[in-house]
Amino acid sequence: MTTLIGWKSREIAIKILNAFEKDKKLREHVEKFTVNLSPLDRAFIREIASGTVRYLRLLDFSLQRALKKNLKGQKPSVRNALRLIAYQLFFTGVPAYAAVNETVEAVKRLLGKKPAGFVNAASKKLLGFNYRREVERIPSYFERISTLYSFETWMVRRWARFYGKDEIEELLKSLNKVAPLCLRVNRIKVTPEKLFSLLESKGIEVERHPFIPDILRIKGRVPIESLPGYKEGYFYIQDPASFLAAYLLDPKPSELILDVGAAPGGKTTAIASITENRAKIVAVDVNKKRMELLKANCKKLGVKNVSFVLTDISKDRSFREKFRSSFDRILIDAPCSATGVIRRHPEGKWNKSIELIRHNQKVQRALLKSAYELLKPGGVLLFSVCSLEQEEGEENAKAALNFGYSPYEFSNLFEELKAGLKGNTLRVFPHRNNMDGFFYAIFRR
C-alpha cells in the first residue's frame, strides 16, 4: 500500500477535481484515484477534494475577489489548484506554507514551471484574505448566505420558503458539516450491548445514539475496515435516518415484506435484523451492479429468507400479477434528488435541478401507484426519500391518497422525533435531529 509525499496527494486531489468538473460526480473519482493508497492518505485526499467541492461557490467568489480575475479562462489544473489552496487556507489546519508549496509543486509536475509560478503568485493574495468581510458586502440576503455557505441560490430560496427563513442558516450549516460515522447493529449476529463492549475493549471511541438502541456512533476518524466486527458482519454503516425507514415500517416476523429500491441493502438488512431473520423479504431493484452488492451484503450479515428480483415494479406487469395483494408490508425508499444527504455527498449541491426533482416525482408516484396493487388489504406501506424537497415528500403523500391509500399512524415513533410529525408524515433534519434529511409517510390499504 502506497504512502504519499505532500505534493503527490495534492496532485491526486487536483485530478479528482478536474474529473468532477466534467460530470459533477465525486465519490467515483475519489475511489478510483485513491484505491491503492494508505488509509491516512486516502482520508486526507478525500477531505481536501470533498471540502473543495463543498465550498466551491465560496472559494470561487473569494478567488475572484482576491485575484481580480475570472477563473473560467484558466486551465482546469490551475483553477482547481487555486481552489484547493483556498480551501486548505480557509477551512483546514494545514500550515499555509504546506498548503501553498505542496500544491504549487503539484502544478509544476502536472503543467510545468510557468503555470506553477502563476499559482504561487496568485496564492500569496489569498494569505490573510477575509472572505467573511467580502461576503458581507453582497447586498442580497439570499445571495449572501448562498455564497457564504456555498449553495445554489435557488435551493436556498425554496428551503427558506418550505422551512422558514429563521431556520435556513442552521440548515445550511448542518448540511456543510461532515456526517458522523454511524453503525447500525446487526441483531442477527450481535446485540447493541455486545458490539458496544467489543468496540470499547479494542480502544475505539464509541457512543450510543441518544434514543435509537440499534445505532452506535464512532468518534473521530477510523478506517471502517479496521473496526472490530467489520469482517464478521456485526454492523452495517447506516445513518439513523436511513435505518428509521426500516424501523418505522415496523416489520414483524412471519410477514411477507417487499423492499422497493432495495440495493445496496441498508434497509433490507435492517428489516432482517429487526425481525431476526424471521420475515420473508422480496428485495427489488433496477440496477444489476447494485443488486450484486445487495446480495453480498446479505451474505456478509447472515441475512436469510430474501428473494432478489431485478425489476421495476411500475413497469413489470407480470411481477404485479404474481404478487397481487400479497404483501403484509411494503417499503418504498424511492430514488430522489438526495438533497437531504448533501453533508455526505457535497457534489449534490451542484448536480440538482427543478427538472430533476419533477422527474423524480413522476417516478416516485409511479412506484406508489404500482405498490398499491401489491399490498394486502389492511397492509401497511412506508414511503421514504432522503430529500428536502416537498415535491418529493409532502406532495407525494397527498397524491398517494388518490391511488387508494388511507393515512395510517406510526406505531413505534420515538418521542424525540414527534416535533417533526404532521399527520401520517414525518420529517427529520441534520440541524434538528443530527441525522440526514429524510421524509417518511405511512399508509394503509
Looking at the predicted structure, is the pLDDT value of residue 223 above 90? no
pLDDT digits (tens, 9 = 90+) for 232-284: 999 999 999 999 999 999 999 999 999 999 999 999 999 999 999 999 999 99
- Return the half-sphere exposure (C-beta side, CA atoms, 13 A cut-off) of residue 81: 30
In this prediction, residues 175-190 reach a mean pLDDT of: 96
Can you tell me which residue has the cell 417487499?
258
CATH number corresponding to 181-237: 3.30.70.1170
Measure the CA–CA gap between 88 and 270, rounded to whole angstroms. 38
181-237 and 240-444: same fold?
no
Least confident of 223-227, 251-255, 373-377, 382-386: 223-227
Report whether 106 contacts 99 (CB < 8 A).
no
Report whether 294 contacts 310 (CB < 8 A).
no
pLDDT digits (tens, 9 = 90+) for 336-367: 999 999 999 999 999 999 999 999 999 999 99
**7-44 burial by CB neighbour count: b if 16+ within 10 A, else e?**
bbbbbbbbbbbbbbeeeeebeebbeebbeebeeebbeb
Looking at the predicted structure, is the pLDDT value of residue 220 above 90? no
More confident residue, 220 or 140: 140
Per-residue model confidence (pLDDT) at position 78: 97
Report whether 420 contacts 432 (CB < 8 A).
yes
pLDDT digits (tens, 9 = 90+) for 402-440: 999 999 999 999 999 999 999 999 999 999 999 999 999
In this prediction, residues 161-169 reach a mean pLDDT of: 95
- The domain segmentation of the chain, as residue ranges, is 6-132, 138-176, 181-237, 240-444
pLDDT band at 311 (very low <50, low <70, confident <90, very high): very high
Return the active site residues.
386
Q: Whole-prediction pTM value?
A: 0.95
* Mean pLDDT over the full length of the chain: 96
Per-residue model confidence (pLDDT) at position 328: 98
CATH number corresponding to 240-444: 3.40.50.150
pLDDT band at 384 (very low <50, low <70, confident <90, very high): very high
Looking at the predicted structure, is the pLDDT value of residue 396 above 90? yes
pLDDT band at 106 (very low <50, low <70, confident <90, very high): very high
Looking at the predicted structure, is the pLDDT value of residue 216 above 90? yes
- 281 backbone dihedrals φ, ψ, rounded to 5°: -115, 135
Per-residue model confidence (pLDDT) at position 4: 66
Architecture per CATH, 6-132: Orthogonal Bundle (1.10)
Q: Which three cell numbers stand for residue 438?
A: 429524510
Per-residue model confidence (pLDDT) at position 73: 86
Burial class (CB in 10 A: 0-12, 13-18, 19+), 318: exposed
Which segments are annotated as binding site? 285, 312, 333
Looking at the predicted structure, is the pLDDT value of residue 1 above 60? no
**How many CB atoms within 10 Å of residue 50?**
22
Spell out the SS3 assignment of the chain.
Answer: CECCCHHHHHHHHHHHHHHHHHHCCCHHHHHHHHCCECHHHHHHHHHHHHHHHHCHHHHHHHHHHHHCCCHHHCCHHHHHHHHHHHHHHHHCCCCHHHHHHHHHHHHHHHHCHHHHHHHHHHHHCCCCCCHHHHHCCCCCHHHHHHHHHCCCHHHHHHHHHHHCCCCHHHHHHHHHCCCCEEEEECCCCCCHHHHHHHHHHCCCCEEECCCCCCEEEECCCCCHHHCCCCCCCCEEECCHHHHHHHHHHCCCCCCEEEEECCCCCHHHHHHHHHCCCCCEEEEEECCHHHHHHHHHHHHHHCCCCEEEEECCCCCCHHHHHHCCCCEEEEEEECCCCCHHHCCCCHHHHCCCCHHHHHHHHHHHHHHHHHHHHHEEEEEEEEEEECCCCCCCCHHHHHHHHHCCCEECCCCCCCHHHHHHEECCEEEECHHHHCCCCEEEEEEEC
Which segments are annotated as binding site for S-adenosyl-L-methionine? 285, 312, 333
Instruction: Please choose, from the candidates 426, 340, 434, the residue with its C-alpha nearest in 3D space to the C-alpha of residue 387.
Output: 340
Per-residue model confidence (pLDDT) at position 5: 65
Looking at the predicted structure, is the pLDDT value of residue 3 above 80? no
pLDDT band at 310 (very low <50, low <70, confident <90, very high): very high
Counting residues of the chain whose pLDDT is more than 90, the rounded percentage is 94
Measure the CA–CA gap between 129 and 146, rounded to whole angstroms. 19
Per-residue model confidence (pLDDT) at position 266: 96
Per-residue model confidence (pLDDT) at position 71: 84
Measure the CA–CA gap between 332 and 180, rounded to whole angstroms. 25
Chain centroid to Cα 143, Å, comes to 25
Looking at the predicted structure, is the pLDDT value of residue 296 above 60? yes
In this prediction, residues 59-85 reach a mean pLDDT of: 94
Per-residue model confidence (pLDDT) at position 69: 84
